[in-house]
Amino acid sequence: MSINQTDLRKAKILSLVVLLCMSVASGLVYAGKIGLWDSLKDDGLHDRRNKKGLKVLQEPGEALSKLPRGVSGNKVDWVMALQKGFIEPRTHIYEGTEIRVIDLDIIMGETSTMNYVMFPHKAHTEWLDCKNCHPIFFEPKVGVTPVNMGAILEGEFCGRCHGAVSFPLTDCNRCHSIIQGTFTGTFGAQYPPGTQYEDYSLE
């Protein structure tokens, strides 16, 4: 096998041209960005002609680049951002609104061959109130609600938020987080020692 010099030169020139094109292209794409995030005028939603409005609106990159990086969605780990104090969103507007945060993990074992699901109430109630999910999407009792992936993909149960505004359903292992065989306890609510169901009732 032999390679003649002309071919080699062609290959060299080609590679240089490709590199040059890539640099120009990435330069162009990066031009309107801050960090990973497209500028509002390039997001496909905002009207570029609305110069007055676009001037006021905050650019996503300006805010999101300072928060803990996530792997999907808008590339921010929002639970960590809240828990580590990167953001301090308000919990209420009206005086007297009760702020309810509970720490209770639910482990769901009917997951076929997938890892078991661990649902942390803490991460959820720091953002949401009990009544956002109970009883409209989930009965406040373990094992009663027929949660299944089909319905979740259709936007019901967890799919109300996951896949729309919170991390997407392609991040399987963030919910299916307990490897089968490593869990020897009882499925359902993992009450901390000394507490019981009544301590968590919604009344």
Partner 1 sequence: MNKNIIKLLLSSIFIIFSLSVIPVSANAEYGDVIINKYSDSAGMRPVIYPHWFHRIRFRCKVCHGELGFEMKAGANDVTMAEIIDGKFCGMCHNGEIAWSTEHCDICHSGKPGLKAGIKGAHQTLGPGIW
Query: Please, which of residues 128-187 interact with partner 1 by CB under 8 A?
Result: 128-129, 131-132, 153-155, 160-161, 163-166, 168-170
Count of residues that bind partner 1 according to CB under 8 A: 71
6, 56, 146, 185: which one contacts partner 1 (CB under 8 A)? 56
Q: How far apart are CA 121 and CA 159, in angstroms?
A: 16
71 binds partner 1 (CB under 8 A): no
Strand order in the sheet with 188-190: 117-120, 105-108, 188-190
73 binds partner 1 (CB under 8 A): yes
CB of 186 vs partner 1, minimal distance in Å: 30
14 binds partner 1 (CB under 8 A): yes
Binding to partner 1 (CB under 8 A): which residues in 93-122? 93-94, 97
Nearest-CA neighbor of 193 among 117, 103, 122, 123?
103
Tokens representing residue 30 in the block: 């990066």
Q: How far apart are CA 141 and CA 108, in angstroms?
A: 12
- The residue among 109 and 155 lying less far from partner 1, judged by its C-beta, is 155
- Give 52's Cβ-side CA count (13 Å radius): 0
